[in-house]
Structures are given as structure tokens and as C-alpha cells.
């Protein structure tokens, strides 16, 4: 055997011995959710890109659900398994715009082995501004990646994938939720518990950010907001809509009032009721929003609150609860007056 042939064989042997373990490890941990791997080394999954991860999960793994939950990062903390008589997939992702809801639901309907009968919409007040709801975002760029037949196999050989796999494996072995959002293989999000000192610091920082970026002069209620929701309804007429508002801490609600947007909040709720007939409103002074310990930054609630949201929806519109008012045309005036009286107290 010539020296050159020996070199070639050695090269491919080293390449083989390097790539096979890399691919096997990435397959076992599966940080991009393109395979069905499930083991003690990957039961904690970091957020890389929820839009891609959850879309990958739907496309490459068995997918059969009659209900899709859509919302922003706040709604990611609602456990899809807590809903009664509904088989729910939580397709919520960070910073989701209401104009993305259409393509997300369309993709889910296309992938599901059973008909999607309903959609649960988690809506955020700050996403009703012109700034946050005007751009026509969609899922198209993420769907395009799936058209490559080698997409998920390329990821197995990626060093970037390996970095996430390694981090997930370490987190899974210690069995500690050490990040702001960590998923199980059942698509259930957890959040790291923090100290009171860190909570106060996070909340202060979040309030300042909201005043600067989302409230204050930068907030202008989008006059087309209701129109966008109506377009969504028209594109999915056969799907039942269950709508809820996401609860923010009263510290953050007070910042909304302080920056002069209580009337915009009221208009937002009226538009939701007009479009959907009724909405589960959790964004008002109540047992949960008055307790800052239910949040880790005053903006995102812990999963325990997500479970309470699911339980309130399970109970139905007519149930009485200290958390969550089902608002309709019949009670919206009294509800909003009660909110105004509470938040405007000296």
C-alpha cells in the first residue's frame, strides 16, 4: 500500500471516528427537536429558536392535536397538558406578533393527523401597538428550511448543534432549571426560581424597558388591530376561538397607567369582545397580578400561573373566580369601571 493511500485511509478513518460520535450525540440530545429521542440526558432543553424548534417538532415527529395554543413568550408557560377535554399543542413562541397567528395555525392544521377544531389565543396588550402589530411576519422562512431533505441530518454534523447538545446534557444530568425558559421533551416550559432581590431588580429593569420601548410616547394603539383579528377569523372560519389576555404584574400595569394608556387598554378589550364575543381577561388587579412573587420579572409569570389560566378556561365562561373574568358586551362596562376605580385610587 502506497504512502498516499495510507494517508487517505487514515484521513477518512479519523473523519469517521469524529463525525459518527458527533452525529450520535446530537441525535441523542436532539436540541432542534427534529428526532424523537427521549432519555435522561435530554429532558431539559434550552431555547435556541422556538419558532424553528416547535415547527421542527410538528414536521418531523408524530403530530396529532385538536387544539393549538398561540401566543408570545408569556403563553409558553401555559402547560398544554392542563386543559380538560382538549388535546392541546402549545405553539407559543417568543415575541409572537398577532400577524403571525395565521401562518402558524395554517401550518399546524396542515401537519396534524386529526382536524384542528379550536385555537386558544393568548393576547398581550403591548402587542396591540402600531410598532408591535404592523409588520406582516409569517412562518415562511422557517417552513422553507424544512424543504431541504438533508436539513435535519446536516444539523447532526454541526458543531453549533453540539454546543447546544452539550449544554442540554449537562443541565439534564444536574436536573436543574438554570435558565429563564427550559423545555421538557413534552413541550412543557419551566423557569428558574430567583431570589427576592433578583426579582426586584428584574422587575425594575422590565418596567423601565416597557416605559421606554413599549409604553410612553412609543405606544400608539393600532387602529387596524381589530381588522387583523377579523382577517385571522375569516381565514380559519371552521376553527373555534378561545381568547384570553395575559396577566402582567400590577407593578407593570401601574406603569401602563402612569404613561397614559389606560384608555388604550380599555379600547383593546372592547375590540376583543366585539370580534370574539367574549374573552377571558386576566390582565387586571386580582389575586395573581397583585402578588409579584408569581413573576420572575413582572412581565413573565411562572408556570404555576399558566396552570391557573388553563384551569380557569376549563371552568368555562360562567364560572366564578378570583382570577380571570369572562368579559362580554353585557359586563364590559362594569368590569372596566371596576378596573379604573382600582388602579386610579390615590
Question: What are the pLDDT digits (tens) for 265-322?
Answer: 999 999 999 999 999 999 999 999 999 999 999 999 999 999 999 999 999 999 999 9
| 105 class by beta-carbon count within 10 Å (0-12 exposed, 13-18 middle, 19+ buried) | buried
The pLDDT score that the predictor gives to residue 321 is: 93
The pLDDT score that the predictor gives to residue 16 is: 52
At residue 68, φ and ψ (nearest 5 deg) are -115, 130
At residue 216, φ and ψ (nearest 5 deg) are 60, -150
**Structural domain total, the chain:** 1
| % of residues, the chain, pLDDT over 70 | 94
Q: Taking the complete model, does pTM exceed 0.85, yes or no?
A: yes
Question: What value does the mean pLDDT of the chain take?
Answer: 93
Question: What are the pLDDT digits (tens) for 173-191?
Answer: 999 888 899 999 999 999 9
Distance CA 156, CA 85 (A): 37
Question: What are the pLDDT digits (tens) for 27-82?
Answer: 999 999 999 999 999 999 999 999 999 999 999 999 999 999 999 999 999 999 99
Does residue 46 sit in helix, strand or coil?
A: strand
Residue-range definition of the domain harbouring residue 12:
3-343
Report CA 168 to chain centroid distance, whole Å: 20
CA distances from 108 to 75, 92, 206 (A): 17, 12, 32
Q: How confident is the model at residue 11 (pLDDT cuts 50, 70, 90)?
A: very low
Q: How confident is the model at residue 127 (pLDDT cuts 50, 70, 90)?
A: very high
Host H or E run for residue 119: strand 118-123
Could you count the other beta carbons within 10 Å of the beta carbon of residue 271? 20
The pLDDT score that the predictor gives to residue 8 is: 46
Amino acid at each position: 500500500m502506497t504512502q498516499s493511500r495510507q494517508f487517505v485511509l487514515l484521513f477518512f478513518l479519523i473523519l469517521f471516528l469524529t463525525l459518527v460520535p458527533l452525529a450520535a450525540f446530537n441525535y441523542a440530545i436532539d436540541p432542534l427537536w427534529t428526532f424523537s429521542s427521549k432519555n435522561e440526558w435530554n429532558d431539559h432543553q434550552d431555547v435556541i429558536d422556538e419558532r424553528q424548534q416547535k415547527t421542527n417538532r410538528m414536521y418531523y415527529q408524530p403530530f396529532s392535536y385538536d387544539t393549538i395554543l398561540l401566543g408570545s413568550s408569556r403563553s409558553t408557560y401555559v402547560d398544554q397538558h392542563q386543559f380538560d377535554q382538549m388535546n392541546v399543542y402549545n405553539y407559543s413562541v417568543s415575541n409572537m406578533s398577532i400577524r403571525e397567528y395565521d401562518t402558524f395555525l395554517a401550518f399546524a392544521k396542515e401537519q396534524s393527523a386529526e382536524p384542528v377544531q379550536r385555537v386558544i389565543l393568548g393576547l398581550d396588550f403591548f402587542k396591540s401597538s402600531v410598532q408591535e402589530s404592523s409588520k406582516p411576519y409569517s412562518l415562511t422562512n422557517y417552513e422553507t428550511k424544512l424543504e431541504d431533505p438533508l436539513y435535519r441530518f446536516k444539523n447532526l454534523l454541526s458543531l453549533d448543534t453540539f454546543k447546544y447538545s452539550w449544554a442540554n446534557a449537562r443541565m439534564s444530568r444536574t436536573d436543574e432549571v438554570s435558565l429563564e425558559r427550559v423545555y421538557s421533551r413534552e413541550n412543557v416550559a419551566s423557569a428558574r426560581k430567583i431570589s427576592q432581590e433578583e426579582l426586584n431588580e428584574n422587575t425594575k429593569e422590565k418596567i423601565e424597558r416597557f416605559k421606554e420601548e413599549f409604553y410612553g410616547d412609543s405606544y400608539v394603539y393600532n387602529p387596524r388591530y381589530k381588522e387583523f383579528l377579523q382577517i385571522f377569523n375569516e381565514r380559519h372560519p371552521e376553527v373555534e376561538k378561545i381568547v384570553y389576555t395575559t396577566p402582567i404584574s400590577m407593578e407593570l400595569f401601574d406603569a401602563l397607567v402612569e404613561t397614559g394608556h389606560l384608555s388604550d387598554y380599555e379600547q383593546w378589550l372592547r375590540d376583543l369582545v366585539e370580534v370574539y364575543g367574549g374573552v377571558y381577561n386576566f390582565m387586571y388587579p386580582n389575586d395573581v397580578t397583585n402578588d409579584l412573587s408569581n413573576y420572575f420579572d413582572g412581565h413573565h409569570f411562572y408556570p404555576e400561573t399558566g396552570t391557573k389560566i388553563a384551569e380557569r378556561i376549563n371552568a368555562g365562561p360562567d364560572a366564578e373566580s378570583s382570577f380571570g373574568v369572562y368579559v362580554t358586551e353585557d359586563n364590559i362596562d362594569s368590569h372596566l369601571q371596576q378596573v379604573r376605580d382600582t388602579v386610579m385610587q390615590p
